[in-house]
Amino acid sequence: MLVGARQARRRMAQVALLAGVLTGCSGAAEDDTKTTASATASAEAASDGDTAVKSGGTIGAAGSACELPVTFDIAQYWQAEAVDAGTDKDKSADSGDGSGAAEEEELAQEIADALLRQGPVTAACEVDAKPAGNIGFLRIWTGKPGADDARTVLEAFLAEEKGVSKAKYSAFKAGDIAGAEVKYLVTSELLEETKEESALAVTTEEGPVVIRLGGMDTEEHRGMLPAYELAKKTLRVG
């Protein structure tokens, strides 16, 4: 029983760690809020419509940091990392003696699923802005093929997010790919703060893709908009 309890605590700790990753490690990030001078300049450029930002390479293709149904450029110094969504873990671990280990494993997986899935899509990749001097992420989510168009996918994605208000949808086109985009506000009950966020969605034969730009606050979000615009501008299927 003691061993089972230790395993359960370890599983839950891993889930908690994952939650920290998918929320941008906000606790540690807040300690670095003073290191955002470059973010202010970027925000001013974005507000003037200047989306010029140097490319740090392309992700999405086979062999890249994140293999996706689409490819796009990420900003210089931003770091991409694939997210392991988990799915079916080793269910053979059930000892069959009624100890509850299987139930604990299932609970941990359910919590992980709740963190990794939003509406019709699942977290697939994170691109961290911190090496470039900002506090935030581009997060990429993918889903299974279906009949829904990009706007429907984006609405379903946003419907699963708490505290959303003033969502403004629009269409966009990049090269031969068309999609939907939304700008919105999200309010954190815990922090009692409201911030801007942006997201876009496209559909492919391999399924829908959602790209969302978050940030610690509105200032950080605006500072990272040039990187988001670079991703949108260079977005291509396959």
Residues with Cβ within 8 Å of residue 51, at least 6 apart in sequence: 225, 226, 229, 230, 233
Core vs surface per residue 168-190: b (16+ CB within 10 A) or e:
eeeeeebeebebbbbebebeeee
Which structural domains are found in the chain, ordered by start?
A: 36-87+119-237 (3.40.1000.10)
Of the ranges 40-44, 107-111, 186-190, the best mean pLDDT one: 186-190
Helix (H, G, I), strand (E, B) or coil at 168: strand
d(CA 159, CA 149): 16
pLDDT tens digits, 177-205: 999 999 999 998 877 899 999 999 999 99
In the predicted model, is pLDDT for residue 39 greater than 90?
no
**Phi then psi for 124, rounded to 5 degrees?**
-125, -25
Q: How confident is the model at residue 13 (pLDDT cuts 50, 70, 90)?
A: very low
Mean confidence (pLDDT) of the chain: 79
pLDDT score, position 190: 79
d(CA 211, CA 214): 10
pLDDT tens digits, 18-32: 344 444 433 333 333
Beta carbons of 213 and 37 less than 8 angstroms apart: no
d(CA 132, CA 219): 15
Q: How confident is the model at residue 112 (pLDDT cuts 50, 70, 90)?
A: low
In the predicted model, is pLDDT for residue 131 greater than 80?
yes
pLDDT score, position 144: 96
pLDDT tens digits, 65-102: 999 999 999 999 999 999 987 654 444 444 445 557 76
pLDDT score, position 23: 41
Q: How confident is the model at residue 52 (pLDDT cuts 50, 70, 90)?
A: confident
In the predicted model, is pLDDT for residue 64 greater than 90?
yes
Q: Which residue has the tokens 């939650």?
A: 19
Work out the percent of the chain whose per-residue pLDDT is above 90: 60
| Largest pairwise CA distance in the chain | 65
d(CA 81, CA 74): 12
- For residue 202, what are its two tokens? 């496209």
Q: Which residue type occupies 17?
A: L
pLDDT score, position 191: 73
